[in-house]
Amino acid sequence: MEKSLTKTLVFQLQSGDERLLSEAYHEARWVFNQTIQLAKDGADWDDISPRLEDEADLVKNTTQRIVAKALEALQQSYDRDDYNTPSHEKTGPYPLRMNFTEGYNLTLKDDRIHYRISAKPYNPVKGTLRGAPDNLELLEQALESDEWQVGTAEAMKRNGNHELHVNVTHLEATVQDETDAQTVVGVDINEDCVALAALREDDFVDSVVIDYPEIKQERHRYFTMRKRMQNAGQTAFDRVFEDKEESYVHDKLHQVSRRIVEWVQEFESPLVVFEDLKHMRDSIDYGTRMNRRLHSLPFHKLRSFVAYKAAFEGIPSDDIDPAYTSQMCSFTGCEHTARSNRRKKRFKCNACGRQDHADRNAAVNIAKKGLASLNRNVPALNTLPTVRKLRRQASGCVNQPTVTHPTVRGYQADGRVGVSE
């Protein structure tokens, strides 16, 4: 079964009436809570929306979308035997869900995208959108092209900023269903590299580690410059440096994600599998300096770029539980799990003595979990080929022959050793 390609674009709302938006978020929370309460009290679900449309201080379309979202969450909990049933006592602001041209509208003018959100009846909020260059470019394309359709959006407050999350759908591009996958590609994203491992039910297919140390180095350079200017009281340039850093990282991640997808395309009916790191930030606490490095890593951004580019090639993606993927030996019959197995980039199993590149070992474990999640047989792994470690030519690797694999153009082999510090 194929699915339409849909992407959620995130923007910041500039020059809007923050007070009116905040009031609308709290009214949306009231609609959500009332919907859950009425449904739990036995009200006919078809009667809830008309009733709340008259009572809520929101435009009718927005009320309808919030009610539909609340009932969808309730139905999902019923389908899971009442697991994680939504509460009717939700606190804090709640997103405004709206239909395009009804609850909100977008227009192009003076090379900028202007928004109009009907937060309250007869009280629209107006302003412009600010966001990543590729998101702005894609939204502009969606507004002007017949191949794209702009759909529902949600306005919300996150990390102190008012944001608009817009869904756009490519009407012609389709993505294969993940259950049809024949090859599972595990992806392990790290601070300075990404490791990939491809598995099928019958065998290990291939693996590669792609280095991008320049991103880490450049981010540290910008951090140092901003810190020095802050200490000198010259804060006016903070935003300038932040924009330059974001633009640099954005461009490099696009290059890396393109290489990843090119590599994945070589395999039969692939499925790209990532670690589910949604709650990773909550568990990170390694001291001030390390926390800053890890909390600001572009894990989600690179994952998003890879998933989106893969989807345009019809390749689906999924998440797995990341527990112990970096600590467990990937060899069948061993699978010894201990934190001491890994030291920096070296993986040495304390039980069987096997050594490997730590990130490649994690990518293999991710791929194994991906196969298991599809109820497929996981192949017996008793040996693994030597790691192919690839690096951009500009990063200084000039003494090794160029890799001839068609999906890694522009890279060179960084030695054949599978274990390094």
Q: How many residues does the chain have?
A: 421
Nearest to 174 by CA among 311, 309, 269: 311
Confidence bin at 262 (pLDDT 50/70/90): very high
Mean pLDDT highest for which of 203-217, 229-243, 288-302? 203-217
Supply φ then ψ for residue 171, to 5 degrees.
-75, -15
pLDDT computed for residue 12 by the predictor: 93
pTM of the model as a whole: 0.60
Residue 284 has pLDDT above 60, yes or no: no
Residue 245 has pLDDT above 80, yes or no: no
Q: Give percent of the chain with pLDDT exceeding 70.
A: 81
Residue 2 has pLDDT above 80, yes or no: no
Beta bridge partners of 346: 343, 357
Q: How far is CA 221 from CA 126, 215, 295, 297, 311, in A?
A: 37, 10, 17, 14, 34
Spans of all domains in the chain? 1-172, 176-389
pLDDT computed for residue 8 by the predictor: 87
Residue 281 has pLDDT above 50, yes or no: no
Q: Kindly report the three-state secondary structure assignment for every residue of 364-411.
A: HHHHHHHHHHCCCCCCCCCCCCCCCEEEEHHHCCCCCCECCCHHHCCE
Q: What does the pLDDT look like over 67-83, one tens digit per residue?
A: 999 999 898 888 777 76
Round to whole Å and give the CA distance between 223 and 228. Answer: 9
Beta bridge partners of 164: 11, 155
Residue 418 has pLDDT above 50, yes or no: no
- DSSP letter assigned to residue 86: P
List of E strands, 246-404? 270-275, 317-320, 342-343, 346-348, 355-357, 389-392
State the pairing for strand pair 183-189/193-199: antiparallel
pLDDT computed for residue 132 by the predictor: 84
Round to whole Å and give the CA distance between 64 and 32. Answer: 10
Confidence bin at 413 (pLDDT 50/70/90): very low
Residue 396 has pLDDT above 50, yes or no: no
Q: 410 or 115, which is more confident? A: 115
Q: What does the pLDDT look like over 303-321, one tens digit per residue?
A: 888 988 898 888 999 999 8
- DSSP letter assigned to residue 103: T
Task: Identify the CATH homologous superfamily for domain 176-389.
Answer: Ribonuclease H-like superfamily/Ribonuclease H (3.30.420.10)
pLDDT computed for residue 66 by the predictor: 95
Mean pLDDT of the chain: 82
Segment 341-354 shows an average pLDDT of 92
Nearest to 48 by CA among 58, 36, 62: 36
Residue 288 has pLDDT above 80, yes or no: no
The 3-state DSSP class for residue 255 equals helix
Residue 387 has pLDDT above 50, yes or no: yes
Confidence bin at 135 (pLDDT 50/70/90): confident
pLDDT computed for residue 243 by the predictor: 64
Residue 264 has pLDDT above 50, yes or no: yes
Query: Residue 399 corresponds to which amino acid?
Result: N
